[in-house]
């Protein structure tokens, strides 16, 4: 059931009152109801009427969609609105939430990057998402193709929390093929948007979406980005909001490395692992969530890896000391030709990595 406070806030938004002005009205009027009742003469007292940013939607239609999609409405006036967003100069006036937002989500890191990601970028994003989630951080991204989707999948694999921020309404999933991924994200975190349920993914929505991604996070990690990537817009918002910015180095000359290398030249923190991110964020992590300091400095145990019958005996014989394929073949009795695809599968799961000399070591133990 929608409250009168939420109805008043929706009315302000649907009449074109933007986020920064809504925040100012709440400071002046006290409540959304009072701000709504004040009328246009107060909303536009400086004589500059803002263009309508969100098309008006019949309240009954919107409420029906909210109920059908099991969405919760949060407004800037609600006590459980995320504090990390509340401090922004232009916080979303309304948040549509599918799933749950928890206080511990204040310890969040955003992973963003190219939609046209390289295989290396996808693998790196999944690994970082998994590592950060296993250490208790919430992974925030935009559910887009490429780096975003890989980041969410990594967090889900670790059994951790993840939040997806959309540039469309929750009843207009974009991209459509990520409907199943969105359902998994909502089950282990939340899918959120500031746009009405049926809002299309217009190009101008995504910079607004990006400010929420950075606003929810303590730091933004750009995994891959071209020279004029939207991920760089997110990094720009992070700097404006006082968040830390990280970049993952990539192959020299690659299109998707140009943006990240420019960030590194401009002073972004280099990030190759979760430890790189935690080392920078540790001071703020220690204060943003009570008791998080110990958990962050001592990585949480990751869930037991899911291994196939072929992978289990191989993984059991790989340790932190490098071992060769021939040695593994002798220990397991499996031909080398069968071991190589098994080792590749373990690499893709982030459980082992190859070192020079076609040798392998276990990751994270």
Is 287 domain-assigned? yes
Per the DSSP assignment, residues forming a β-bridge with 191 are 98, 164
Q: Over the stretch 97-139, which tens digit does the pLDDT of each residue have?
A: 999 999 999 999 999 999 999 999 999 999 999 999 998 899 9
User: What CATH number does the domain containing 357 carry?
Assistant: 1.10.10.10
Is 255 domain-assigned? yes
Is 86 domain-assigned? no
Q: Indicate whether 201 and 141 sit together in one domain.
A: yes
Q: Indicate whether 157 and 293 sit together in one domain.
A: yes
CB count, 10 Å around CB of 232?
Answer: 23
Q: Which pLDDT does position 56 carry in this prediction?
A: 61
How many domains are there within the chain?
A: 3
Our CA dihedral for 327, 328, 329, 333, rounded to 10 degrees, sits at 120
Q: Indicate whether 113 and 259 sit together in one domain.
A: yes
pTM: 0.77
Asked whether 16 and 10 are in contact (CB, 8 A), the reply is no
Q: Indicate whether 244 and 144 sit together in one domain.
A: yes
Q: Indicate whether 218 and 147 sit together in one domain.
A: yes
Q: Which pLDDT does position 123 carry in this prediction?
A: 94
Is 80 domain-assigned? no
pLDDT, mean of residues 74-83: 93
Per-range mean pLDDT, top range of 25-29, 189-193, 316-320: 189-193
Is 73 domain-assigned? no
What share of the chain has pLDDT > 90, as a percent? Answer: 60
Is 353 domain-assigned? yes
Q: Indicate whether 277 and 318 sit together in one domain.
A: no
Q: Over the stretch 267-288, which tens digit does the pLDDT of each residue have?
A: 999 999 999 999 999 888 877 6
Which of the four pLDDT bands, split at 50, 70 and 90, describes residue 328? Answer: confident
Helix crossing, 147-157 with 179-187: angle to 10°?
Answer: 40
Is 92 domain-assigned? no
Q: Indicate whether 133 and 180 sit together in one domain.
A: yes
Minimum mean pLDDT range among 258-272, 277-291, 331-345: 277-291
Angle at 42 between CA 38 and CA 47, to 5 degrees: 155
Q: Which domain covers residue 338, as residue numbers?
A: 311-362
As a whole number of angstroms, the distance between CA 83 and CA 335 comes to: 56
- For 354, the token pair is 């190859």
In the listed set 270, 297, 324, which residue is the last one of a domain according to the structure? 297
Whether 32 has a pLDDT exceeding 60, the answer reads yes
User: What CATH number does the domain containing 153 carry?
Assistant: 3.40.50.450
Whether 145 has a pLDDT exceeding 80, the answer reads yes
Q: Indicate whether 243 and 357 sit together in one domain.
A: no
Is 331 domain-assigned? yes
Q: Indicate whether 342 and 243 sit together in one domain.
A: no
Of the candidates 206, 243, 251, 248, the one whose C-alpha atom is nearest the C-alpha of residue 224 is 248
Of the candidates 207, 179, 175, 182, the one whose C-alpha atom is nearest the C-alpha of residue 194 is 207
Q: Which pLDDT does position 292 carry in this prediction?
A: 41
Q: Indicate whether 140 and 17 sit together in one domain.
A: no
In the listed set 241, 272, 297, which residue is the last one of a domain according to the structure? 297
Q: Indicate whether 273 and 335 sit together in one domain.
A: no
Which of the four pLDDT bands, split at 50, 70 and 90, describes residue 306? Answer: low
pLDDT, mean of residues 282-301: 55
Q: Indicate whether 246 and 343 sit together in one domain.
A: no
């Amino acid at each position: 059931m929608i409250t009168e406070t939420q109805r008043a806030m929706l009315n302000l938004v649907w009449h074109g009152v933007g986020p920064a002005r809504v925040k100012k009205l709440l400071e002046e009027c006290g409540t959304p109801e009072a701000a709504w009742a004040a009328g246009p003469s107060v909303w536009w007292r400086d004589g500059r009427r803002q263009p309508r940013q969100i098309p008006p939607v019949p309240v009954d239609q919107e409420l029906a969609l909210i109920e059908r999609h099991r969405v919760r409405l949060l407004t800037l006036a609600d006590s459980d609105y995320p504090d990390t967003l509340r401090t922004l100069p232009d916080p979303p006036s309304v948040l549509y939430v599918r799933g749950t937002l928890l206080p511990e989500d204040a310890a969040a890191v955003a992973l963003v990057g190219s939609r046209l990601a390289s295989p290396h970028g996808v693998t790196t994003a999944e690994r970082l998402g998994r590592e950060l989630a296993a250490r208790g951080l919430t992974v925030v991204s935009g559910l887009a193709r490429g780096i975003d989707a890989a980041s969410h999948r990594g967090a889900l694999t670790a059994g951790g929390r993840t939040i997806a921020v959309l540039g469309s309404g929750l009843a207009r999933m974009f991209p459509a093929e990520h409907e199943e991924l969105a359902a998994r994200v909502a089950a282990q975190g939340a899918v959120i948007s500031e746009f009405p349920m049926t809002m299309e993914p217009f190009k101008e929505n995504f910079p607004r979406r990006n400010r929420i991604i950075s606003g929810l996070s303590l730091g933004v990690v750009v995994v891959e980005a071209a020279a004029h990537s939207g991920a760089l817009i997110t990094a720009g918002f992070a700097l404006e909001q006082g968040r830390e910015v990280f970049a993952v180095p990539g192959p020299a000359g690659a299109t998707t490395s140009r943006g990240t290398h420019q960030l590194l030249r401009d002073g972004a923190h280099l990030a190759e692992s979760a430890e790189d991110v935690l080392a920078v964020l540790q001071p703020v992590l220690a204060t943003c969530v009570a008791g998080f300091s110990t958990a962050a400095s001592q990585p949480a145990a990751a869930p037991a890896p899911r291994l196939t019958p072929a992978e289990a005996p191989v993984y059991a014989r790989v340790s932190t000391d490098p071992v060769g394929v021939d040695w593994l073949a002798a220990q397991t009795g499996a031909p080398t030709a069968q071991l190589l695809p098994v080792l590749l599968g373990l690499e893709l799961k982030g459980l082992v990595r190859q070192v020079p000399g076609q040798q392998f070591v276990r990751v994270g133990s």
